[in-house]
Structure 1
Amino acid sequence: MEIMSTYNSKCESLKFYTYLCQNIGSDEVVKIRRLAFTILDLGQSFGHKTITSGSKGEGLDLKGSDLDIMALCPFFKVYESEKEVVLDGLTIPLVMVTDETHPCFTQLCRLNHHGVYNLWDLCFKEIPLWQKHPLGYMLSSEQYQLLIMSLAGLKLAELKLPSLAKTHGPCLTSFDDQLDKVVCLKCDQWLFQTQPWIRRPRTAWPSPEIISKIISCGVLFVPIGCKGSANENLEWRISFSVAEKFLIYSFNHTQFLCYGLLKILLKEIVEKHEDLKGLLCSYFLKTLMFWMSEETDPNLWRPDNMIPCFMACLQRLLYCVRYSILLHFFISDNNFFYSRFNAMNKKKLETILSNLYERGINCFASSDTLKDYQSQYYKVTHLLTRLNFKTFELFVDLSNLKKIHILYHCLHHSRTGSCQSLFALYLSKSCWFVPHASNYLYTCYNSENKHQYSKYKYDLSHLLIGVHSDAVTGWLTLASYFYVKKNYVASLRLINYALQKYTDEKIFTGSGFTKYELTFIQKHVLNLMKTEKLYSVLRSLRIETLTFGPKSSIIPQELQLDVTKSRTCYSSLPFAYFLGFLCNYHLHDITSYRRYLQQLILTKTKDSIHVNLYRVNTAIMCGVAHQLIGEAYFAKGLFQEAARQDKYNFTSAATRLSRLT
């Protein structure tokens, strides 16, 4: 009987594990997600070095998952003591002062008040970064954050991007709470106060190799102090984000799924109680998983032990709440749960967690993500149905030829088919931006015909590679190039070919962070293609955003006003109709350009997926078309509509309206 019970338990665990792979992500899908964000960290220049973290950077793509971007400030370098300081003439050295701070926090003191510091003060005199203290001049985390906000505001105004709009702790946060960015400082050395972590007794996790990597990466500092501290405005929190990313990546898939389950439990069940929101956070769950992994035999984290592993994690969380103890993984002097709860919310949280534990995996019956498990309905779909295609949308301008060379190198040295597929997609899309970079490459020489011809061949060859990035948009980019070259007939052929490929099973992946459910036909086609190679599926089913870089040389002249300073994005279908209108307008084919204009107007009225900025750009294209054919009244109405929607003046709508009136 005991053997049969064990067998049934293992079968149920394996079934639950398979279900989680479909709904949270298989091991392969998680690796692809991570690889996609790792690519974003490649090729960054010194002044723009970034590290992706947060749920998405870790490989999770759950409801409410966010992306954290940690940008390293190039102007400061932190040292643990004055004797370690290296004066390089490029950075301002800061020394840690922890005499008056809580564990995991520090003040940052500069060595003197001369030279480069005075120049820094002069540049930002309206924001006093330094505050006098008995121990020296401290860099104020509060004033530093104000400076970053100020600089971010100037940058966003210049680029016409509404991405980062508010603060959340030390971060700048997007309107939809999907993106957090923090500009942090770095210390290249592993701190003395974290030395006990290296020597701490453990079973087998993390491995000596992972520990060595973590030590070599040093630590970061984010601009936020310990809440309630007397010098809160001067304190900086020590961040181990890089180390934590190494640890998460070293989880086996059972460990990773347990981590995902804890996050679902928190976000979709516990936090349905409004009075418990914010009491626990994802970072606490991550810390708990680190302790569990360090203290248990790695051989226990197996697919056929999935349910017991998760229940052990939930039991540990209940214990931590009950006894108000959850120690920081690297600096164990810091107890996250010390004075965290009052009697009332602690009792309620303990009761909820206890009830959930008693229900076993049935506790997810009220979860949006996992509620259908007990119905025993398992979708026989390929891993791609759970893959968030937005992962492949680039967040950076790939007009930098250096990055293209990096992608090319990675493609030819990838060890797995999935890696090759992902790098091939990135490489193909990056080729869209080559004409922008080649403007400089070829204007460095004289403008004789042979150089112009060389540039033409160079640009065309890369744009031809770009057609393999997705089903439609690469072709439209090439069509736009031919339009700019006044080859309207060739452009029309490409437009019509792209429109033929714009069918119901295609999946639009360019609407910012907005998600939408796949339709029945999209899921059906994905299932039919489950035996195809990853690259083939993504290339044939995805439709990307059409993107033009600043001062693009391949965008129609009629839209140049929108790319004077920043890149601009268009939905593929309305852009195709607008480009078709332009070609026929220049060919003096009135019947055809009227037909394309009518289709363009219909896309504007039916548009329900795309984000607001795309709708504004579609309205602008409609207005430009009416303006070209002398229908100023309709153009004015469309520009007015676009200007009303464009609250932050990111597009050319207001400028076009003023010129028209």
Structure 2
Amino acid sequence: MFQEPDYRENLSLALSEVLDDIGVNERMVMRRRRNYMLIQTTKNISDRLTDTNNTSYHLGSQSEGTTTIGLESDVDLLFCMHDFNIIQDWSEWEHGKENYLMIQDENTTPGYCFLQSLRQDVPLPDTVIPDEHHITDRSERVLLKNTVINHMVYGAFGQQHGPSVAIQGQSGFFDGDNVLAFPCKSWPQSASGWLERQGIGRWPTQDMRRYAASTGCFVVPTGSKVSEYPELEWRISTSLAERCLMSNLNITQIRCYVLLKMILKSFLNPHAEINISSFMCKTVLLHCIENTEPSVWKDNNLFTCLTYCLLELHSCVQNDRCSHFIIPDNNLMAGQFTAETKHELSKNICELIQNDRQWLLSIDIDNLGHRLQVKLNRIPHRVYYFPSSLQIYEQVLTSTYGSNAFNISMRYMLVLNHLKNENIRTIKQLVVKLMNFSNNGNRLEHAAFKLLAPFLFTTYGSILASSSIGENNQMSPEALVWLSAGLNSDTSSSRLKLASVFYSTGDMEKAEQILRHTEQQYYSYPVVPICGCCYCKKPLPTVKAEFLRVCGEQSWDCIKHNTAFCVRFIQKEINCVPHELQYEMFRSTQDDMIHREYLDDLWMDWAVVDSLPFLYFLQYKVYSHLQRHQDQQQALCKLIRTILTDKNLGHRETALNILGQCMEQENRHQQALNCYLLSLQQRPRNNVAIIHICKLLSGLLSSQ
């Protein structure tokens, strides 16, 4: 079947060029993969710092690089909870852990298992039901229900769909599915045959199989659609092995998978109903690769490879069977379709195959059909405007940069939340622990260390400074060392913290020098403000083309050199915070507390402000002390202009509150009141503007 007419070769080459133009090429695939691996590593380092016994894994299309802008793929994240230990052999039992024995028998669906509860003190089965999340079966085994996950963390994250939690609008980039899973260190027994299986294409290689076996597996909380015991079954997941396989595809195979997903979205699941999943398409692709010669998968044969995959998919639908690539007894299509749906899908896939190339020309995703017509000289290019490959590259850069920057900001917020109740000695131990990642870690851990460490250095130095300022109104030498070590966290936030410390000790000259230098840095390079305080509903900041060019050249260094994170002071740093900003640490009444959300509002007992408003506010205060009144008024004007014009502010209400206090210092009481009222419009609850209004009105009444 692989000896095809010339038109198929021409069509394949044109199709490959179109996919290259819309970002399905080696460069963009690697960019996406590196981005999400760095995000994953940063998450895991911060979790180890905060003693969170989980490991996060980015999976799916975004981390594989098997997507396009138009496909709008989810960001899939698997949280592996290490407090649980799933075993297949009694030798794997661990003292003191939540041990569960994986049970696969005549009552479990292939690819699924029961989890039998074991004692923590000795390797024996539990005989007593410990809580409502367990049940005894007919064999008197104590089994764990998969609904236990509902009571763990789903309520804090989003809406449950099967084993995953769907989170809409995270960080303004992609919707996401977050799956909780328990780890099993050993390779699933039901997949043992895969390690020896050898297809025509001699793929996967032995090295890939050995690596896959070393990753073990997970169990995730969902039962089969055809199970008699849906609340007791747990699906066996070989996600890490699958990620390894996907990372070893060549670009033609990746393009074939992207096309399958476009076909799925355009023709087979057009109204967002999930009949055939992208995972089924991935599985079909892997089977096709295994059963063909490697030489088949070339750019000039792309259309033929795609047709082969569609034929295989049609066979799966016809036979109601799509065997999991690694666990072949697991039928991914079991219970998936009604007879009517099966007939409709079979007919649609047949039409796609029989109509040859015509359906490709009607795919709207990423303008693929129209782009292909231009390549084939069916229509002149001037009829349609398409984003150029450079524009698409810049758009992908924007999203990958933004997702990484927001992740760093959010992970550091979680570290701060952990620090707030720790003493100085424990915090220093945490700093040393982080430094060990740089000394002993791999390349990704080195990169994550360079991004996270300066923030922790700055906070530790600021905490030391706050302690010494409280004792003798001076900054200790050790505090200055740590504050200096953290100066390059980003363009501005750590520098502004140091300037704030100098301001708090009364050293206005040094504070002014740092502020002047920071302002020069801010406007000498393209800078993007980032605030990751809120876990969701954060829009992507406006990014200039100049920034994107720098981002492309400097890779992830742009996060350090071209990003302005918001400035965060926890209460342990209170003596380093100007008194106008200290009010923000006491923003909430008891009634306000009820209206907080855990992840979104972790920062609400801190003083948090965007970099640029804080820069101009500090300048206003410093110039006031230095009696440089013209410079002081210029700083005030810049603060006002920033609040009015900067669309990227994450804490506009705080900026309005400090502006209001500047207006009070100017005796412009009406404007101060207006600032506080505007602040309340931004955030009606958990806003210290209420206190400022009461204080202002009380002062005015007293003066009368």
Q: Which category of TM-score, normalised to the shorter sequence, fits these structures?
A: 0.7 to 0.9
Check conservation: 1:382, 1:530, Cα contact below 8 A. Answer: no
Query: Partner of 1:583 in structure 2?
Result: 622
Give deviations 1:470-496, integer Å, cap 9, x for gaps. Answer: x55554455445444544444444444
Query: Partner of 2:193 in structure 1?
Result: 196
Q: CA deviation at 1:367?
A: 0.9
Check conservation: 2:323, 2:330, Cα contact below 8 A. Answer: yes
Asked if residue 543 in structure 1 is aligned to residue 563 in structure 2, the reply is: yes
CA gap 1:98/1:225 in 2 versus in 1, 3 angstroms: same
Query: Partner of 2:88 in structure 1?
Result: 80
Q: CA deviation at 1:78?
A: 1.3
Q: CA deviation at 1:643?
A: 5.3
Query: Partner of 1:338 in structure 2?
Result: 334
Q: Within 1, Cα distance between the matches of 2:142 and 2:40?
A: 37
Asked if residue 574 in structure 1 is aligned to residue 613 in structure 2, the reply is: yes
Q: 1:296 aligns with which of 287, 292, 295?
A: 292
Asked if residue 30 in structure 1 is aligned to residue 32 in structure 2, the reply is: yes
Q: 2:150 aligns with which of 141, 145, 152?
A: 145
Q: 2:411 is aligned with what amino acid?
A: V
Q: 1:389 aligns with which of 401, 415, 420?
A: 401
Unaligned runs of 5+ in 1: 154-163
Give deviations 1:579-617, integer Å, cap 9, x for gaps. Answer: 33443455566665554444434434434445xx54444
Query: Partner of 1:401 in structure 2?
Result: 431
Q: 5 Å matches for 1:77-226?
A: 77-81=85-89, 83-89=90-96, 91-99=97-105, 100-111=107-118, 128-134=132-138, 135-149=140-154, 153=156, 164-176=157-169, 178-202=175-199, 203-226=201-224
Check conservation: 1:189, 1:215, Cα contact below 8 A. Answer: yes
Query: Partner of 1:156 in structure 2?
Result: none
Query: Partner of 2:64 in structure 1?
Result: 58
Query: Partner of 1:430 in structure 2?
Result: 453
* Equivalent residues, number: 623
CA gap 1:113/1:86 in 2 versus in 1, 3 angstroms: closer
Q: 5 Å matches for 1:341-352?
A: 341-350=337-346, 352=348
Q: 2:83 is aligned with what amino acid?
A: F
Q: 1:200 is aligned with what amino acid?
A: R
* Residue aligned with 1:40, SS: helix
Check conservation: 1:109, 1:137, Cα contact below 8 A. Answer: yes
Q: CA deviation at 1:569?
A: 6.0
Q: CA deviation at 1:265?
A: 4.2
Check conservation: 1:544, 1:572, Cα contact below 8 A. Answer: yes
CA gap 1:77/1:324 in 2 versus in 1, 3 angstroms: same
Q: Within 2, Cα distance between the matches of 1:372 and 1:474?
A: 49
CA gap 1:278/1:365 in 2 versus in 1, 3 angstroms: closer
Asked if residue 600 in structure 1 is aligned to residue 596 in structure 2, the reply is: no
RMSD (Å) for aligned C-alpha atoms: 4.6
Give deviations 1:465-518, integer Å, cap 9, x for gaps. Answer: 33xx4x555544554454445444444444444444347954455567756597
Q: Within 2, Cα distance between the matches of 1:226 and 1:24?
A: 37
Check conservation: 2:256, 2:305, Cα contact below 8 A. Answer: yes
* Residue aligned with 2:453, SS: helix
Scaled by the length of structure 2, the TM-score of the pair is 0.73
* Residue aligned with 1:50, SS: strand
* Residue aligned with 1:434, SS: helix
Q: CA deviation at 1:344?
A: 4.2
Check conservation: 1:254, 1:306, Cα contact below 8 A. Answer: yes
Q: CA deviation at 1:307?
A: 4.5
Q: Within 1, Cα distance between the matches of 2:158 and 2:688?
A: 21
Q: CA deviation at 1:431?
A: 0.4
Check conservation: 2:501, 2:577, Cα contact below 8 A. Answer: yes
Query: Partner of 1:161 in structure 2?
Result: none
* Residue aligned with 1:232, SS: coil
Q: 2:545 aligns with which of 498, 523, 534?
A: 523
Check conservation: 2:465, 2:476, Cα contact below 8 A. Answer: no
Q: Within 2, Cα distance between the matches of 1:269 and 1:591?
A: 66
Scaled by the length of structure 1, the TM-score of the pair is 0.77
Choose 185-194 or 346-355, whichever is displaced more. Answer: 346-355
Query: Partner of 2:233 in structure 1?
Result: 235
Query: Partner of 1:248 in structure 2?
Result: 246
Q: 2:161 is aligned with what amino acid?
A: H
Q: 1:464 aligns with which of 483, 487, 503?
A: 487
Choose 258-267 or 278-287, whichever is displaced more. Answer: 258-267
Q: Within 2, Cα distance between the matches of 1:132 and 1:650?
A: 47
CA gap 1:482/1:433 in 2 versus in 1, 3 angstroms: farther
Q: Within 1, Cα distance between the matches of 2:613 and 2:452?
A: 20
CA gap 1:186/1:536 in 2 versus in 1, 3 angstroms: closer
Q: 1:26 is aligned with what amino acid?
A: M
* Residue aligned with 2:38, SS: helix
Give deviations 1:552-584, integer Å, cap 9, x for gaps. Answer: 636555445656864776543333333334434
Q: Within 1, Cα distance between the matches of 2:681 and 2:226?
A: 43
Q: Within 1, Cα distance between the matches of 2:367 and 2:668?
A: 50
Check conservation: 2:80, 2:183, Cα contact below 8 A. Answer: yes
Larger Rg over CA atoms: 2
Q: 2:99 is aligned with what amino acid?
A: P
